[in-house]
A and B are shown apart, each in its own frame.
Chain A
Amino acid sequence: MTTWTNARGAPALAMLAALAAPAGPDARAEPLIWGIQVEQAEYRLGEDGDVAAWDFDAFVGTDELKVVWRSEAEFAIDEEAFETLENQLRVQVPVSTFFDAVAGIRVDTPEGANRVHAVLGLHGLAPQWIEVDADVFLSDHPAFRFEAEYEGLITNRITLTPSIEVDLPFTDDAPLGQGAWGPKLELGLRLSYDLVDRAVSPYLGVYYERVFGESSLLASREGKDPGAVYFVAGTRLMF
């Protein structure tokens, strides 16, 4: 289940070795900060088949520069195949009080066609505590992605987290079921409980995804439903 924690952080560390050299005139070597934040490690129960999914960031770096390994996957249980398997190596640099600029590379290796993109984006905290990611993916199949998440405290241990993700392909990518300007929308609502500090927070929730426009037509042509609702159970992890 937790194979992704066998981190392949080596490239990230190698990059940092070069970058973390103290720069200040009176520099003390600031220790490297690292962490793993698993936003989703969940099982999705759906009408048209179940899915195991993860979404995590593993990072190492300093205040000035972080290297992030971001991984997202959806594994269809029946098909025994990755519908989504996306790994990004991102470098984050602060550009304002609350936002980082992001540059990196994204490698998609799901079942079927593979894709490699360059990544440019922004990551940070918008007013009213909304965590935001906005990324442009540059390749033969460019796309834009916007993600937002809000942690609503019911109590100091019970959190209701609504989330939204919009993927907007700029070109057709038929093998991946994407039509130009046909967005994919993902909505989540997860109710978590902080079981062990903030390290382990199991949750229950619902997850809805749907494609629109050209992408929707592609789905229909393949006899797939453009939208699906899942009941999800999983845990957030942070260490």
Chain B
Amino acid sequence: MSYGTPARAALLAAGLGLAISSAAAAGTYDLTVDYVTIDTGDFTRTGIGYNGASTPPVLRFAEGEEVTINVTNNLDVDTSVHWHGLILPYRQDGVPKISYPGIRPGETFTYRFPIVQGGTYWFHSHSGFQEPDGAFGALILEPKAREKYRYDRDYVVQLTDAHPHRGDRIMRNLKMMPDYYNRQQRTLLDLIGDASEKGLGAALSDRADWGGMRMMPTDIEDLQGFTPLINGKGPEQNWTGLFEPGERIRLRFINSSAMTFFDIRIPGLKMTVVQADGNDVLPVPVDELRIAVAETYDVIVRPREDRAFTIFAESMGRTAFARGTLAPRAGMEAEVWELRAPPLLTMADMALDPAMAGMDHGAMMMEGDAASGHGAMMKDADLPPGAHRMPDGSIMGGPGEDPFYAAGSGVTPEPAMKHGRFLSYKDLKAADPLYPDREATREIELRLTGNMERYIWSINGVKYADAEPIRLQYGERVRFKFVNETMMTHPMHLHGMWTIIDNGTGERDPIKHTVSIAPGTVVYTETEVDAPGQWAFHCHLSYHAESGMFRKVIVEGGPTTDRAALAPASGG
């Protein structure tokens, strides 16, 4: 399905209304929340959708526009709509019990807020498990200024992990049996394989190490058995975007999954990443990128040949793939690839777990370091293109190791293509820094913690139900220190304010709404506290958020009217 050619800036003529921004274009939109039938090609089930359709809708607003959105709840339970990544007054943010009470069955709630930014975003229900059940859509905010990249076609590529089970049942199953959905556990047959490879003693001792901790190296996807969808279509249904050879295509990748990270590539095409989480970045050409749950990445591709290309998105645990096609003509297909071998976590992925700190992981860590093939161990002949040895022996250029993964981590991205370039957070540089680069006023440590066996996820060891809110002062710049003590990757999402990832770029540190924290890593982010009110802050894995990795953030002080609250952000 085509979303048509971009209507760039078409709606923005009125954007010059000077001081009173409400003089800008004002649009009224209607959304109904309905029970719909979801057909993935693998299974059919009842889910939740908007405007009666199971295909996620695409809403297009213009920067400077005052939007009025009437959301009518046709479900028999409460619902809500959260505008993910949007800077808006907190009462419009759509999180029940934090922003507002929610929307009761049969009621219509009217959202009213100004659009103060451009870019690719999305929206979803923040009630129960409605989002995993299908309640999400795409948001395209047309920026006022001319975009920093050129394209002839514009497609949303919205990914999800549709599951045959309803969300509340999944939650219950995970609570009852955390490995309920893990069908990639190591088995006796794997043990025999390992034993023939590295000897029975080593194989058994590895099993004993993991068993001793009561942890699983295969624990990468809590939820398996889903069918990945692109814009509501399963791999067999093959969502297709059309192009003329030589055209530039903007693909707006949005990961609306409940639980699944995807490694996306389009074999045969370089993808130039131009935007992350709605904010432009300096363009980065890559061969592959990993999209965490709730993130968005906009890429430009330029197919010059008159043939089809497969958009291939493997789940991080390699249990399933999403597939779509870019083609000059409808009905064309390109090769669909095999899933790569599933990764296994290593001891490096739990290096920060205090319970494991006393254990001797020396041997395994060394194994991991060797596997990363870095430094002096690499022969010149193996050097990737663009890389070369410096006089001091170090290697410059080419894809290096990714500081956003623990050294030797089992989930470090490996490009499918030999010497291919995999996007890292370290490659992201803000094209338009929103704030001056200043020293943070204080640091808040957030340890990401959990008890896998009980399926309780928490922050600093305390789950949401037992936690005090995080209190921030309006006007401060807070530095968050995320320490991931679990063995899972957590996409942390702060509502209402930007998350600036410290990737060492200084004033061009990328500005995001979701930061993915890999196991065994420490990641720093900074937030200019410029939005009064109360906000949600949580892991965006649906079942982690629901089981406790969630906080309420209260911003104290600052302007009291909603309009004033928006001033700092809209000025940026």
Contact = CB atoms under 8 A, between A and B. Distances in A.
A154 B188 contact: yes
Given A26-B468, A125-B453, A127-B212, A34 B187 contact: no
B463 A63 contact: yes
B200 interface: no
Given A26-B469, A98-B453, A153 B176 contact: no
B404 to A, nearest CB: 28
Given A24-B465, A24-B466, A26-B469, A198 B180 contact: yes
Contact of B454 (A23, A63, A152, A160): A63
Contacts of A24: 464-467
Interface in B449-487: 451, 453-454, 456, 463-469
Given A129-B214, A238-B177, A31 B466 contact: no
B172 A34 contact: yes
B547 to A, nearest CB: 8
A25 interface: yes
Given A97-B451, A156-B183, A37 B176 contact: yes
A199 to B, nearest CB: 9
Nearest to B182: A156
Interface string A94-125: 10011000000000000000000000000001
> In this complex, which of A31, A125, A156 has the most chain B Cβ atoms within 10 angstroms of its Cβ?
A156
A6 interface: no
Nearest to A124: B453
Contact of A153 (B175, B187, B208, B552): B187
Contacts of B175: 33, 35
A156 B185 contact: yes
Interface in A133-160: 152-157, 160
Interface string B166-203: 00100111011100100111111100000000000000
A175 interface: no
A156 to B, nearest CB: 5
A128 B212 contact: yes
Contacts of A128: 208, 211-212, 214
A25 B470 CA distance: 12
Contacts of B552: 26
B465 A28 contact: yes
Nearest to B97: A28
A22 interface: yes
B212 A25 contact: no
A18 interface: no
A30 interface: yes
B211 A22 contact: no
Contacts of A1: none
A27 B466 CA distance: 6
Task: Label chain B's interface by main secondary structure.
Answer: mixed
Interface in A39-75: 63
Nearest to B211: A128
A156 B187 contact: yes
B124 to A, nearest CB: 18
Contacts of A23: 465-466
B472 to A, nearest CB: 15
A152 B173 CA distance: 20
Given A28-B97, A155-B187, A97 B465 contact: no
Given A97-B453, A98-B453, A128-B208, A30 B465 contact: yes
A152 B466 CA distance: 36
Given A34-B172, A97-B451, A154-B189, A127 B467 contact: no
Given A63-B463, A198-B180, A127 B454 contact: no
Given A127-B211, A198-B177, A33 B465 contact: no
Contact of B186 (A22, A31, A153): A153
Nearest to A159: B187
Contacts of A30: 465
B59 to A, nearest CB: 29
A156 B468 CA distance: 41
> In this complex, which of B175, B468, B469, B552 has the most chain A Cβ atoms within 10 angstroms of its Cβ?
B175
B192 to A, nearest CB: 10
B176 A33 contact: yes
A155 B189 contact: yes
A28 B172 CA distance: 17
A219 B180 CA distance: 42
Contacts of A198: 173, 177, 180
Nearest to B189: A155
> In this complex, which of A26, A30, A160 has the most chain B Cβ atoms within 10 angstroms of its Cβ?
A26
Contacts of B213: 127
Interface in A2-32: 22-28, 30-31
Contacts of B176: 33, 35, 37, 238
A189 to B, nearest CB: 14
Contact of B185 (A28, A125, A153): A153
Interface in B142-178: 168, 171-173, 175-177
A153 B190 CA distance: 10
A34 B355 CA distance: 30
A34 B173 CA distance: 9
A35 B467 contact: no
A3 B223 CA distance: 32
Contacts of B97: 28
A177 to B, nearest CB: 36
B453 A26 contact: no
Given A98-B214, A156-B185, A63 B468 contact: no
B172 A125 contact: no
B342 to A, nearest CB: 12
A125 to B, nearest CB: 6
A25 B212 CA distance: 36
Nearest to B552: A26
Nearest to A199: B173
Contacts of B454: 63, 94, 97
A23 B462 CA distance: 13
A186 B172 CA distance: 31
A160 B188 CA distance: 10
Interface of B: 97, 168, 171-173, 175-177, 180, 183-189, 208, 211-214, 355, 451, 453-454, 456, 463-469, 547, 552
Interface of A: 22-28, 30-31, 33-35, 37, 63, 94, 97-98, 125, 127-129, 152-157, 160, 197-198, 238
30 contacts: A22-B465, A24-B464, A24-B465, A24-B467, A26-B464, A26-B465, A26-B468, A26-B552, A27-B465, A28-B464, A28-B465, A31-B168, A31-B171, A33-B171, A33-B176, A34-B172, A35-B175, A37-B176, A63-B454, A63-B456, A98-B453, A125-B453, A127-B211, A127-B214, A128-B211, A154-B187, A155-B187, A157-B183, A198-B173, A238-B176
Nearest first, the 3 A-B pairs at minimum CB distance are A128-B211, A24-B466, A153-B187
